[in-house]
Structure 1
């Protein structure tokens, strides 16, 4: 499972200060960061009915419950997902994938201790399961336990994961620590693994900007917008570069777009106020 509700998009990192202007925080959204918009089709009655028919034909097989639980989770039906993962684990207490999937649901529901416990159990059952390290690392990062998060992402990378989330999220921590050259390397690796995900372009752009490389930062923010024009952070970051270049009109327009997409996104609101715009 790679989905997550939009409410978890905010507050993952503090703003990076660049001179007098606050650079919009790099939010961890979309598939690279183990977050995505709810896919209602996954939890549609038709899809659930089809998966239920599979379970009815083999009620003693845990895989069917795990698959249906995944569909429920991606459809935002978290209680039903938990029930299915519980059943899968009742049938097979060593089903490490079901532990990791249930951990993700607990994370959606902000049950951090339960999420960590499930991911940890998955790792105990399979110490080479990179997905569980990445999932637990995200829970630690959301909880502000940065050192533990870094260790989990590092472990997944040492296991030769091909999951771009490990590099993207380690890059976010390196960025938070001010290690921008290393962060750029990690974001670039994430991009090479999944070039169509906008989030690592946003992250890399922030680190380029922190190094004073506004041209590469601007290119990355524009690419992020091209890949997904509905992310407020991308527009706010683009606006910041316009602002730093002295183009207040374009900056104001981009800040306004960011506020339209996310009226609660403070860097965009502050930028709009600085450039003389109005959120109303």
Structure 2
């Protein structure tokens, strides 16, 4: 009998060890980075809440099993290095949270997080010194993260916008986040917060408790949203955008948003106390407060009359045409819904590109007689067979070489539509998008090409250019390093790495790279100048 007890004890101990090992194996599967920027030299006074906010939220995340990194008062270099190290920690399938508290500014419907040493006097300065939220989300997704949360407490009135704008615009609503992502704003898009005087913000105060009780979940952020709205009497209402997969790891919580914040311990009723009926006046007040906090009910749009609706197919057709009128025609038929929002985003992109002076030399080059002959042959081939991907690709290259970027984009779009795994077309479209300043989309194309063909030197070179243009010099050095390992005689990679090294403070190494690149190709400096990089 004793022998059996001994065996049971050994088995139980083994199960405990196995469970402990399983728990240990999960370490690193939940990672978080919280950045709090409060000390901005260009501001009359420091922000009072970011540092305490990220410390409090970080502690709550640690208690829920997250590996937490906290960075305080980061300048541009530190911010880049911190983000690079954070991205390297993300394992495939990990749950990832990124939290930023400080100053943020939108430009052309993109949100930029401002480092403490940002020298911002114009839109161009913002693109140079700021870090785009879209880029952060793209990198997290590229590293294979599963559930992703991005929290932005960055709508404080800042000292920068008044230098080049007549008014502050708040943050822009996120338009196209990766799948299985939750984006949380401390207040609604297009609205601003006045810096608080306390040591913690209302948003962080209301978030710490729900994270402790519900973990990092939609339910926790919904509770925080309700709590902030009630605490500020509706003056501040956090905004949530979700592409979370249903029932993905407990993230999609079916419980409704609470109609009031959780009661404090002093006001909680005892279980034995029957609820007391409210007086009629108080009933009406409670009904109105509940209506404020409940999300608006959105009626499903009625299907359009006429032919059977096919918004996906019709949007793809508009995308192939890629003109403002094509998207406007799409909106006439589909005025509401997700596809309509995508069409409006495309119209905004076209309008922004038309209105924005580009630093890139976009003057078309004159076609030689041989190039004209080649283009005529390709035109005829495509007319005979509109799905001839080889002819479309070659014509797209010809357009790109002559800086006719919009028709080049249309040809590469069609090649990728016909064959989504064409890495050469993805790389070329990445480069073209970089030329017309669609930098976040360019980054996605390069990432997709490298996902399909890792260590593809041309795509690494293109992504290095994109990272250089968005101001992520450290990431650009990495890409150019990898590109040169694949093709050590590529002058553009060597010159790009030299510029990136100069921007990261590696002056001697940067000048050496530039000298070697000019020896290989004396025209490479002019090439980068045409890209808008000097």
| Coarse TM-score class (shorter-chain normalised) | 0.5 to 0.7
Q: 2 CA distance for matches of 1:110 and 1:169?
A: 24
Distance 1:138 1:228, change over 3 A: same
Which SS does the other structure have where 1:195 is aligned? coil
Q: Judge conservation of contact 2:497–2:513 (CA < 8 Å) in 1.
A: yes
Distance 1:156 1:242, change over 3 A: same
In the TM superposition, 1:138-149 aligns within 5 A as: 138-149=397-408
In the TM superposition, 1:47-196 aligns within 5 A as: 111-196=370-455
Structure 1 residue 170: deviation in Å? Answer: 1.2
In the TM superposition, 1:253-264 aligns within 5 A as: 253-264=512-523
Structure 1 residue 224: deviation in Å? Answer: 0.7
The aligned counterpart of 1:225 is: 484
The aligned counterpart of 1:244 is: 503
Structure 1 residue 149: deviation in Å? Answer: 1.0
Q: 2 CA distance for matches of 1:258 and 1:139?
A: 25
Q: In structure 2, which of residues 469, 474, 480 is the aligned counterpart of residue 215 of structure 1?
A: 474
Q: Judge conservation of contact 2:405–2:436 (CA < 8 Å) in 1.
A: no
Distance 1:268 1:210, change over 3 A: closer
Q: 2 CA distance for matches of 1:189 and 1:129?
A: 22
Q: Judge conservation of contact 1:170–1:186 (CA < 8 Å) in 2.
A: yes
Larger Rg: 2
The aligned counterpart of 2:180 is: none
TM-score for the superposition, normalised by structure 2: 0.29
Question: Number of paired residues?
Answer: 168
Q: 2 CA distance for matches of 1:209 and 1:265?
A: 15
More helix by share: 1
Structure 1 residue 185: deviation in Å? Answer: 0.6
Q: 2 CA distance for matches of 1:141 and 1:135?
A: 10
Question: Which 5+ residue runs of structure 1 have no aligned equivalent?
Answer: 1-15, 21-108, 271-280
Superimposed CA distance per residue, residues 6-53 of structure 1 (whole angstroms, 9 cap, x where no aligned partner) = xxxxxxxxxx99869xxxxxxxxxxxxxxxxxxxxxxxxxxxxxxxxx
Q: Judge conservation of contact 1:255–1:268 (CA < 8 Å) in 2.
A: no
Structure 1 residue 256: deviation in Å? Answer: 1.6
Distance 1:256 1:268, change over 3 A: farther
Q: Judge conservation of contact 2:497–2:510 (CA < 8 Å) in 1.
A: yes
Distance 1:249 1:267, change over 3 A: farther
Which SS does the other structure have where 1:153 is aligned? helix
Distance 1:111 1:236, change over 3 A: same
CA RMSD of aligned residues (A): 2.8
Structure 1 residue 269: deviation in Å? Answer: 11
Superimposed CA distance per residue, residues 111-163 of structure 1 (whole angstroms, 9 cap, x where no aligned partner) = 12211111122222322221111111111122222211111111111112532
Which SS does the other structure have where 1:162 is aligned? coil
Q: 2 CA distance for matches of 1:247 and 1:141?
A: 33
1:205 aligns with 2:481: no
Which SS does the other structure have where 1:111 is aligned? helix
Q: 2 CA distance for matches of 1:187 and 1:235?
A: 19
Q: Judge conservation of contact 2:473–2:501 (CA < 8 Å) in 1.
A: no
Distance 1:110 1:138, change over 3 A: farther
Distance 1:267 1:127, change over 3 A: closer
The aligned counterpart of 1:61 is: none
In the TM superposition, 1:17-28 aligns within 5 A as: none
Structure 1 residue 237: deviation in Å? Answer: 1.0
Q: Judge conservation of contact 2:495–2:524 (CA < 8 Å) in 1.
A: no
Question: Which 5+ residue runs of structure 2 have no aligned equivalent?
Answer: 1-123, 130-367, 530-534
